[in-house]
Amino acid sequence: MESLRGQLLVAGPTLLDPNFRRTVVLVCEHSEEGALGLIVNRATSLEAAEAVPELAEILGDGARLWSGGPVQPQSIVLLADFDEEPEETLMVVGAVGLVLQGADLEDLDLGPRGARAFLGYAGWGPGQLESELERDDWIVVEAEPDDAFADDADGLWARVLARKGGEYALLARMPPDPSLN
Protein backbone atom coordinates (compact mmCIF):
# COMPACT_ATOMS: atom_id res chain seq x y z
CA MET A 1 0.00 0.00 0.00
CA GLU A 2 1.30 3.43 -0.96
CA SER A 3 0.65 6.13 1.63
CA LEU A 4 -1.27 9.19 0.46
CA ARG A 5 0.02 11.40 3.28
CA GLY A 6 0.55 14.88 1.92
CA GLN A 7 -1.83 14.37 -1.01
CA LEU A 8 -5.20 15.96 -1.64
CA LEU A 9 -8.39 13.99 -2.09
CA VAL A 10 -10.74 15.96 -4.30
CA ALA A 11 -14.35 14.81 -4.19
CA GLY A 12 -15.34 13.35 -7.52
CA PRO A 13 -18.59 14.44 -9.19
CA THR A 14 -20.36 11.21 -8.15
CA LEU A 15 -19.57 11.70 -4.44
CA LEU A 16 -22.87 13.18 -3.26
CA ASP A 17 -22.49 12.57 0.49
CA PRO A 18 -23.19 16.04 1.97
CA ASN A 19 -20.24 15.62 4.33
CA PHE A 20 -17.85 15.49 1.38
CA ARG A 21 -19.57 16.91 -1.71
CA ARG A 22 -17.10 19.19 -3.57
CA THR A 23 -14.56 19.00 -0.76
CA VAL A 24 -10.79 19.02 -0.82
CA VAL A 25 -9.25 16.83 1.89
CA LEU A 26 -5.60 17.07 2.91
CA VAL A 27 -4.47 13.55 3.87
CA CYS A 28 -2.53 13.93 7.12
CA GLU A 29 -1.94 10.24 7.87
CA HIS A 30 -2.48 7.07 5.83
CA SER A 31 -1.37 3.57 6.72
CA GLU A 32 -2.67 -0.01 6.76
CA GLU A 33 -4.66 1.00 9.85
CA GLY A 34 -6.66 3.67 8.02
CA ALA A 35 -6.44 7.34 7.14
CA LEU A 36 -7.01 10.76 8.65
CA GLY A 37 -7.50 14.00 6.76
CA LEU A 38 -8.83 17.53 7.03
CA ILE A 39 -11.37 19.15 4.76
CA VAL A 40 -9.51 22.36 3.88
CA ASN A 41 -12.19 24.21 1.93
CA ARG A 42 -15.05 24.61 4.42
CA ALA A 43 -14.86 27.64 6.67
CA THR A 44 -17.40 28.04 9.44
CA SER A 45 -18.89 31.31 10.62
CA LEU A 46 -17.42 30.79 14.09
CA GLU A 47 -14.79 33.29 15.20
CA ALA A 48 -11.85 31.38 16.66
CA ALA A 49 -11.25 33.98 19.39
CA GLU A 50 -14.82 33.56 20.68
CA ALA A 51 -15.01 29.76 20.39
CA VAL A 52 -11.48 28.87 21.52
CA PRO A 53 -9.91 31.90 23.25
CA GLU A 54 -6.68 30.04 24.05
CA LEU A 55 -5.97 29.82 20.29
CA ALA A 56 -6.73 33.46 19.51
CA GLU A 57 -3.13 34.61 19.70
CA ILE A 58 -1.73 31.81 17.54
CA LEU A 59 -4.50 32.05 14.90
CA GLY A 60 -4.55 35.84 14.66
CA ASP A 61 -7.25 38.48 14.58
CA GLY A 62 -10.45 37.63 12.76
CA ALA A 63 -9.54 33.97 12.26
CA ARG A 64 -12.42 31.57 11.77
CA LEU A 65 -12.72 27.92 12.66
CA TRP A 66 -12.84 25.46 9.77
CA SER A 67 -14.91 22.30 9.42
CA GLY A 68 -12.32 19.54 9.20
CA GLY A 69 -14.75 16.65 8.84
CA PRO A 70 -17.60 14.72 10.38
CA VAL A 71 -15.52 12.73 12.90
CA GLN A 72 -15.43 14.24 16.41
CA PRO A 73 -16.68 17.69 15.28
CA GLN A 74 -16.43 18.95 18.88
CA SER A 75 -12.63 18.47 18.91
CA ILE A 76 -10.08 20.99 17.64
CA VAL A 77 -7.32 19.97 15.22
CA LEU A 78 -4.57 22.52 14.64
CA LEU A 79 -2.72 22.62 11.31
CA ALA A 80 0.24 24.97 11.05
CA ASP A 81 3.07 26.12 8.84
CA PHE A 82 6.39 25.96 10.68
CA ASP A 83 9.65 27.83 10.30
CA GLU A 84 11.19 25.25 12.59
CA GLU A 85 9.60 21.83 13.15
CA PRO A 86 8.69 21.30 16.81
CA GLU A 87 8.80 17.86 18.41
CA GLU A 88 5.04 17.54 18.96
CA THR A 89 4.04 17.61 15.29
CA LEU A 90 3.11 15.26 12.49
CA MET A 91 4.50 16.78 9.31
CA VAL A 92 2.17 16.46 6.33
CA VAL A 93 3.41 18.41 3.30
CA GLY A 94 6.47 20.63 3.15
CA ALA A 95 6.64 22.72 6.34
CA VAL A 96 2.94 22.11 7.10
CA GLY A 97 1.94 19.72 9.86
CA LEU A 98 -0.48 18.86 12.63
CA VAL A 99 0.20 20.15 16.11
CA LEU A 100 -0.12 17.12 18.37
CA GLN A 101 -1.73 17.03 21.78
CA GLY A 102 0.63 18.21 24.50
CA ALA A 103 2.48 20.72 22.32
CA ASP A 104 3.34 24.03 23.98
CA LEU A 105 1.53 26.55 21.78
CA GLU A 106 3.71 29.41 23.02
CA ASP A 107 6.83 27.68 21.71
CA LEU A 108 5.56 27.13 18.15
CA ASP A 109 7.74 28.85 15.57
CA LEU A 110 5.14 29.52 12.87
CA GLY A 111 5.95 30.19 9.25
CA PRO A 112 4.33 32.78 7.00
CA ARG A 113 1.11 30.81 6.48
CA GLY A 114 0.42 30.71 10.22
CA ALA A 115 -2.09 28.20 11.58
CA ARG A 116 -5.70 27.10 11.12
CA ALA A 117 -7.99 25.37 13.60
CA PHE A 118 -10.41 22.72 12.38
CA LEU A 119 -13.48 21.28 14.06
CA GLY A 120 -13.26 17.52 13.63
CA TYR A 121 -11.58 15.54 10.90
CA ALA A 122 -12.24 13.00 8.15
CA GLY A 123 -11.37 9.42 9.02
CA TRP A 124 -11.29 6.07 7.25
CA GLY A 125 -10.90 2.58 8.70
CA PRO A 126 -8.57 -0.08 7.28
CA GLY A 127 -9.16 -0.46 3.53
CA GLN A 128 -12.05 2.02 3.47
CA LEU A 129 -10.23 4.81 1.62
CA GLU A 130 -8.81 2.33 -0.88
CA SER A 131 -12.36 1.11 -1.64
CA GLU A 132 -13.56 4.67 -2.15
CA LEU A 133 -10.63 5.33 -4.50
CA GLU A 134 -11.50 2.22 -6.53
CA ARG A 135 -15.08 3.56 -6.90
CA ASP A 136 -13.64 6.87 -8.16
CA ASP A 137 -15.18 8.77 -5.26
CA TRP A 138 -11.91 10.71 -4.94
CA ILE A 139 -9.41 12.24 -7.33
CA VAL A 140 -5.87 12.26 -5.92
CA VAL A 141 -3.93 15.47 -6.55
CA GLU A 142 -0.46 16.47 -5.40
CA ALA A 143 -0.83 18.90 -2.49
CA GLU A 144 0.94 22.22 -2.28
CA PRO A 145 1.56 23.73 1.16
CA ASP A 146 -0.59 26.78 0.30
CA ASP A 147 -3.67 24.64 -0.41
CA ALA A 148 -4.51 24.19 3.28
CA PHE A 149 -4.35 27.96 3.87
CA ALA A 150 -6.14 29.20 0.75
CA ASP A 151 -7.84 32.56 1.18
CA ASP A 152 -10.54 31.64 -1.34
CA ALA A 153 -11.39 28.21 0.02
CA ASP A 154 -14.72 28.16 -1.86
CA GLY A 155 -12.82 28.10 -5.15
CA LEU A 156 -10.22 25.55 -4.05
CA TRP A 157 -12.06 22.51 -5.45
CA ALA A 158 -12.06 23.97 -8.98
CA ARG A 159 -8.51 25.36 -8.73
CA VAL A 160 -7.02 22.04 -7.62
CA LEU A 161 -8.79 20.13 -10.39
CA ALA A 162 -7.72 22.70 -12.99
CA ARG A 163 -4.13 22.39 -11.75
CA LYS A 164 -4.27 18.61 -12.36
CA GLY A 165 -5.10 19.40 -16.00
CA GLY A 166 -6.53 17.27 -18.77
CA GLU A 167 -10.07 15.99 -18.26
CA TYR A 168 -9.95 17.32 -14.70
CA ALA A 169 -9.62 20.90 -15.95
CA LEU A 170 -12.94 20.44 -17.74
CA LEU A 171 -14.48 18.93 -14.60
CA ALA A 172 -13.28 21.98 -12.64
CA ARG A 173 -15.73 24.15 -14.62
CA MET A 174 -18.69 21.94 -13.73
CA PRO A 175 -21.36 23.90 -11.83
CA PRO A 176 -22.36 22.66 -8.34
CA ASP A 177 -25.72 21.53 -9.75
CA PRO A 178 -25.31 20.52 -13.42
CA SER A 179 -29.08 20.17 -13.85
CA LEU A 180 -29.35 23.96 -13.62
CA ASN A 181 -27.05 24.37 -16.61
Q: Domains in the chain, please, with CATH?
A: 7-180 (3.40.1740.10)
pLDDT of residue 178: 59
Q: What is the pLDDT of residues 130-174, one digit of tens each?
A: 999 999 999 999 999 999 999 888 899 999 999 999 899 888 887
- Nearest CA among 122, 102, 152 for reference residue 11: 122
Q: What is the CA radius of gyration of the chain?
A: 16
What is the spatial distance between Cα 99 and Cα 114, in angstroms, rounded to a whole number?
A: 12
pLDDT of residue 84: 84
Task: State the average pLDDT over residues 115-132.
Answer: 97
Whether residue 123 is predicted with pLDDT greater than 90 in this model: the reply is yes
- By CB atoms closer than 10 A (0-12, 13-18, 19+), residue 30 is buried
Q: What is the pLDDT of residues 20-76, one digit of tens each?
A: 999 999 999 999 999 999 999 999 999 999 999 999 999 998 999 999 999 999 999
